[in-house]
Structure 1
Amino acid sequence: MNGPLRYQSGFGNEFATEAVEGALPRGRNSPQRAPFDLYAELVSGTAFTAPRAENRRSWLYRRRPSVVAAAYRPYEQPHWLSGAQQAMRSGGVLPPEPLRWAPFELPSAPLDFVDGLRTVAANGDVEMHTGIAAHVYLFNRPMAKRALVNADGEMLLVPQQGRLAIRTELGVLEVKPGEIALLPRGMLFRVDGLDGPSRGYVCENHGAPFRLPELGPIGSNGLANARDFLAPVAAYEDAADVACEVVKRFGGRLWHTTLAYSPFDVVAWHGSLSPLKYDTANFMTIGSISFDHPDPSIFTVLTSPSDTPGTANCDFVIFPPRWLVAEDTFRPPWYHRNLMSEFMGLVLGRYDAKPEGFRPGGASLHNGMVPHGPDAQAFEKASSAPLAPHKLDDTLAFMFESRYRFIPTAFALHGGSLDSAYADCWGGLQDKFVERRGA
């Protein structure tokens, strides 16, 4: 594509787009003969009978249907793991203390997005459609004539270093740090870096598809607004006779095959299942304007619900720039033991509860009922700081929060980035209690 990319606006909208005028059938989805002799193909992201408000599907009109493929062979990439069992079989364990990682090092050997994925922690079960895996991507070369399709779950990409060009079957997204990309389960894509070596985070969601959270008493506006999510317009790759390797994630394993043509051959499409990008700068933060620090759920961008109402398979939460104005209030996040498990990453700047040791490109993990909270330095500063209105600027942290505990992988525990002295940040918290007795 030449020039700036074009997008369509809305989360879960019914989109309609064609790269060639007249390629979309009119008045029906599967005509006897599709325009331009294209093939009609339906992609269903939910069950046929899912409630209308939750149903996601799109009709694709392409030069060849997806069934045109050779047999798949196993593909070895030992660092991409799924589910609690794979994480444990890799040599991972479930320690009962908080964990933190320094920024994950970029590779020196040439690696693309597929080979540069590293699983940090995982939970749930792929075949039971539960849980998530938290990965980092670390790559320094393009995927070139390769494509990836994940039949096990949707992928939420959070760039930290370098812009990404993401070509999907339905069109092209350009995503920079501060933005996120949401790629549906079962849809082919290719990820290339636009600024050299690239680093970021991935939530691989095996549960219910991400959706916007309910707003409840907040009302009809706020948090992430549907109109700020952008879907691509149709854009096919005119490389019909160029071979392409397809790597497929299926059943917790990787497979690959070679196509004699580019799979990015969708000339037109319509429907509600699509890749999306979102700029977190558009997030409308909600906070206290009187006293106390509200629950972090007020920062939820997207949620993957579970079968227990209000207890998510995964919430994607961000901590963006915002004003702090509460009176007589300890303003950083409070000390906490949580039923939910929290995997955090830092895209930009500092996180107010950990101003020193938590750095962009790193991560932390506080599993269910593992105590966590501000370090000693943050506590002392927040306990005595003047409570004038204060703007947190140049910061962006995020959290993958899940009802299931995360199992750190062998890479996470022994890959060289684990901060073995993390617990020391709380060592300076002293007993200051003085009992005051009546005269």
Structure 2
Amino acid sequence: MPFYRAVGALPPKRHVQFRSPEGRLYREEEIGKEGFSSDFAILYHNNAPTDVVSIDTWELPDQESRPNNPLVPRLLYTHKLDQGGDAVLSRRLLAANSDLRVSYVVADRPSPLYRNVSGDELYFVESGQARVETVFGVLEVGALDFVVMPRAVIHRVVPVGEEPLRLLISEARGSVRTPRRYLSDQGQFLEHSPYNERDLRAPAEPFVVDEGGDVDVYVRHRHGGTRYTYANHPFDVVGWDGCLYPYAFDMAEFQPYTNRLHQPPTNFQAFEAPGFVVCAAVPHATEYHPDAVPVPGAHTNVDSDELLFWTEAAGGARSGHGINAGAITWHPGGFTHGPRAGELERAVAAYQPGVIEMRDMWAVMIDTFQPLEVGEAALACENGSYLSSWRGA
């Protein structure tokens, strides 16, 4: 969980009168989880955040998916989805189950105002830069940044610079959290955690937009999409405090522990959510046992589908299998996978026993605990020959 923050102007106590210099009462809004018995934040608006002028239906992007039947591994090339658009209306569905939707988008224009009221969202920036504008303030983000966006937070994603903004987006059913084993009973990051409070970037000052009325906000909810039109712009917050807010985390700051022999993917876990976890594979010291095999052996993850999103082309023993920047390797639960043809012998031959070297790898892994179905975007960018890479292993 993020730690407590206070930004902008605040009254001395919660739920008391708080007035502007002109004597006008600011409008308090509380955003809270689990029936206000968990993390929450209190925001102070210039205008009533409840002043909705009209409501109508928003037709969501294609959300159809089909079972992964027959049960096959997949290699996806997300860079084939480079059609442009924005981070909300143009995202394309790669995979989904009842806990999670994974989408991809190449954004070259600002998104509309948006909120997801059914669960948190986790943005991962593959490349490009953006201003993520929210009711809490602004986050400046770039390549390798994660952005945790709590549910119901109104925000928009504005690409900046000349490079397209490539985003992998995970829409959760519930809260995206720091793994509990990294935290004390009071919520402080423990000494063994691979990142800590100093690595998290949150909005540092209010962001007030002085625009006219009739402002549209696109809302994602469990039954579909709705568009609210507000009488005033929602970016009118003069101050806020609490432990619930959007924040960014640079994956390059992740510090996994290493060992003499192979460590499981849990060593790289960065986030957890209902029904899935997210891991950050970053450069790290190789195994240093004299007889270590420096690639994972064959394994069958019986409980999880594994999506591995590569932000750089796979190197070392994994090179030469078509795993380029932006590729996703998808290994469904129950499918035995591991070193492909020639990898084991090449890795052992190149290894110097007892010498600590760096394994250069940049990837995001999403492990789910229910089978993932295949979205339309996965079918549009799949390499159908991926299975053959195991032959002769």
TM-score, normalisation: structure 1: 0.81
Equivalent in 56, 78, 87 of residue 65 of structure 2: 87
**Cα-to-partner distance string for 1:415-436 (whole Å, 9 max, x where unaligned):** 1x1010001111132xxxxxxx
Identify if the C-alpha distance between structure 1 residues 326 and 153 changes in structure 2 by more than 3 Å, giving closer, same or farther: same
One-letter code aligned to 1:176 = G
Query: Offset at 1:334?
Result: 2.0
Distance 1:352 1:302, change over 3 A: farther
CA drift at 1:397: 0.4
Alpha-carbon shift at residue 219 of structure 1 (Å): 6.7
Which residue is equivalent to 2:295?
332
- Aligned equivalent of 2:356: 389
Q: Which residue of structure 1 lines up, in the alignment, with residue 26 of structure 2?
A: 38
Residue number in structure 1 paired with 2:86: 112
| Helix, strand or coil at the partner of 1:172 | strand
2:198 counterpart of 1:227: yes
For 2:109, give the aligned amino acid.
R
Of 347-356 and 260-269, more deviation after overlay is shown by 347-356
TM-superposition CA deviations, 1:127-157 (whole Å, max 9, x none): xxxx1111112222122xx200001111111
Which residue does 1:6 correspond to in 2? Answer: none
Provide the residue aligned with 2:43 in structure 1: 60
Deviations 1:216-243 (A, max 9, x none): 9x97323122331121123223324254
What corresponds to 2:244 in structure 1?
Answer: 273
The C-alpha deviation readout for 1:340-398, integer Å capped at 9, x for no partner, is 221110123425563231122121211211122122143331132232322123x3101
Partner of 1:248, secondary structure, is strand
Instruction: Mark the CA change 1:351 to 1:39 in structure 2 (over 3 Å): closer, same or farther.
Output: farther
Equivalent residue number for residue 344 of structure 2: 379
Offset of residue 46 of structure 1: 3.1
**Hey, what does 2:232 align to over in structure 1?**
261
Say whether 1:201 aligns with 2:168: yes
> Partner residue of 1:141?
109
CA distance in 2, matches of 1:281, 1:211: 16
SS in 2 for 1:78: coil
Q: In structure 1, what is the Cα distance between the partners aligned to 2:316 and 2:55?
A: 48
Structure 1 residues 353 and 77: CA distance shift in structure 2, 3 A: farther
**Equivalent residue runs for 1:1-400 within 5 Å:** 11-18=1-8, 23-26=9-12, 28-36=13-21, 37-49=25-37, 55-79=38-62, 81=63, 86-88=64-66, 93-108=68-83, 111-124=85-98, 131-143=99-111, 146-196=112-162, 197-215=164-182, 220-241=191-212, 243-288=214-259, 290=260, 292-304=261-273, 306=274, 313-327=275-289, 328-338=291-301, 339-350=303-314, 354-356=318-320, 357-387=322-352, 388-393=355-360, 395-400=361-366
The Cα RMSD (Å) is 2.2
Q: Which residue identity does 1:147 align to in structure 2?
A: L
Per-residue CA deviations over 1:163-212 (Å, capped at 9, x if unaligned) read 12100110100111121110001101100111342212011111344223
CA distance in structure 2 between the aligned counterparts of 1:208 and 1:259, rounded to whole angstroms:
26
Would the alpha carbon gap of residues 66 and 422 (structure 1) be closer, same or farther in structure 2, given more than 3 Å must change? same
The answer to whether the Cα contact below 8 Å between 1:167 and 1:189 also exists between their aligned partners in 2 is yes
Q: Decide whether aligned partners of structure 1 residues 179 and 352 sit closer, same or farther in structure 2, where only a CA change above 3 A counts.
A: farther
**Which amino acid counterpart does residue 300 of structure 1 have in structure 2?**
Q
- Does the CA-based 8 Å contact 2:176-2:271 persist in structure 1? no
Long gaps (5+) in structure 2: 184-188
Equivalent in the alignment of 2:383: 419
Between the aligned residues of both structures, percent identity stands at 24
CA 1:68–1:231 in structure 2 vs 1: closer, same or farther (change >3 Å)? Answer: same
2:28 touches 2:44 (CA, 8 Å); kept in 1? yes
2:120 and 2:175 in contact (8 A); partners too:
no
Aligned AA (1:422): Y
Matched length = 379
Q: What's the secondary structure of 1:368's corresponding residue?
A: coil
2:323 & 2:266 partners in 1: Cα distance? 21
CA contact (8 A) 1:234 1:269 kept: no
Shift of 1:93: 4.1
Q: What TM-score, normalized by structure 2, do the two folds share?
A: 0.90
